[in-house]
Amino acid sequence: MKEKFLEKLKYEYNYSDLTINGYDYEITKFLDYLNDNHLDYRKINLDMIRNYLKYLDNLKYKKNSVSKNLSSLRSYYKFLTEEKVILNNPFKNISNPKKDKKLPDFLNYEEINKLFDCADTTTTLGLRNRCILEILYDTGIRVSELVNLKISDIEFDRKIINILGKGKKERIVYYGDYLQEVLEKYINDSRKYLLNNKSSEYLILNNNGSKITTRGVEYIIDKMVNEAAIKHKISPHVLRHTFATHMLNGGADIKSIQQLLGHESLSTTGIYTHITNDVLRQEYLKNHPRSKLN
């Protein structure tokens, strides 16, 4: 039944391979526990779940990891009830532990400019890499949305990109003159060279002229981070955090940022207010003459 559930996530909900692998990992963890304890996955009760949570606690699992596991199992067992494998979802009323507060990482303005400077736009791959950076930072889209982006999704005259996000939800993102210039150069020069007389509907291509993968984008970002001598770990998702943080610092309202990011809940976007508040606090303590005693 697990494989059928994962197929539903892929084909009905349009989840990325990375997300599906996460569900697979979390569900398998629970099924292995049941198997080790000779328990039937179809006959789960609250006492069994409590014992499982104690087991995770003994393994020193962090609250965020436990929450991720419970959320995956809640979805899986909801699927099992829909398939009439079980009558009730035993995870329905199990609350996730309160999450450990962790602010998302983001790049400051100097760091993002260092990254851009690393892309040599006089070369085929350098121009392609600059295009990847510009799209992720200018629009805040997810890396899974980037690799699935088609040329037909872009309205060049209006500087609009139509995004098909998580759960097949559609949204519009906007971009400016910098990305417009890079896009036109990439499509007219680098992309044609990468295609090498082949055809593809996808915007970003790998060295062989095929659709790039999320891992391929991660590899490119890693390489550029090393060249820019940025000390902390940067993933494509950090560029999404950077987009939101810089938008908020620039005066954008939180509701607009929520819509651009495609967040279902405003509370998810609200994490960025903590970042900007922390930045403001540091600036105050550093610059105000009466922020601390001499």
Q: What is the pLDDT of residues 194-241, one digit of tens each?
A: 998 899 999 999 999 999 999 999 999 999 999 999 888 888 989 988
For the chain, give every domain's residue range. Answer: 2-82, 109-233
Which position has the token pair 């892929």?
A: 10
Say how far apart CA 22 and CA 19 lie, in whole Å.
5
Q: What is the pLDDT of residues 162-202, one digit of tens each?
A: 998 887 889 999 999 989 999 999 999 999 999 988 999 99
Catalytic residue among 68, 191, 240, 241: 240
Catalytic residue among 142, 191, 241, 246: 142
- The yes-or-no answer on residue 237 being catalytic is yes
- The yes-or-no answer on residue 193 being catalytic is no
Residue 136 has pLDDT above 70, yes or no: yes
- The yes-or-no answer on residue 166 being catalytic is yes
285 falls in which pLDDT band (50, 70, 90)? low
**CATH classification code of 2-82:** 1.10.150
Q: What is the pLDDT of residues 238-278, one digit of tens each?
A: 998 888 888 888 888 778 888 888 877 776 666 666 655 56
Question: CA torsion, points 214, 217, 219, 223, in degrees to nearest 10?
Answer: -160
**Domain 109-233: homologous superfamily in CATH:** Intergrase catalytic core (1.10.443.10)
Nearest to 244 by CA among 271, 225, 277: 271
Residue-level pLDDT at 41: 95
Facing residues of 163 across strands?
171
- The yes-or-no answer on residue 142 being catalytic is yes
pTM summary value = 0.61
Residues in the chain, overall count: 294
- DSSP state, residue 48: H
- The yes-or-no answer on residue 78 being catalytic is no
Catalytic residue among 8, 166, 171, 185: 166
Cβ contact 95:65 at 8 Å: no
Facing residues of 171 across strands?
163
User: What is the chain's Cα-based Rg?
Assistant: 22
Contacts of 217 (CB under 8 A, 6+ apart): 132, 143, 146, 147, 204, 236
**Mean pLDDT for the stretch of residues 14-40:** 94
Residue-level pLDDT at 157: 93
Contacts of 76 (CB under 8 A, 6+ apart): 2, 5, 23, 27
Which position has the token pair 């970003």?
A: 204
Residue 46 has pLDDT above 80, yes or no: yes
Sign of CA dihedral 270, 274, 277, 279: negative
Catalytic residue among 2, 29, 159, 237: 237
- DSSP state, residue 41: T
Contacts of 203 (CB under 8 A, 6+ apart): 149, 150, 151, 153, 154, 187, 191
Nearest to 34 by CA among 44, 25, 26: 44
Pairing relationship of beta strands 154-155 and 160-164 according to DSSP bridges: antiparallel
Residue-level pLDDT at 186: 97
Residue-level pLDDT at 166: 81
Provide the 3-class DSSP secondary structure of residue 29: helix
Catalytic residue among 128, 130, 246, 263: 263
Mean pLDDT of all residues belonging to the chain? 87
- The yes-or-no answer on residue 263 being catalytic is yes
Residue-level pLDDT at 96: 87
Joined together, the tokens standing for residue 34 give 């049941």
Catalytic residue among 15, 77, 175, 272: 272
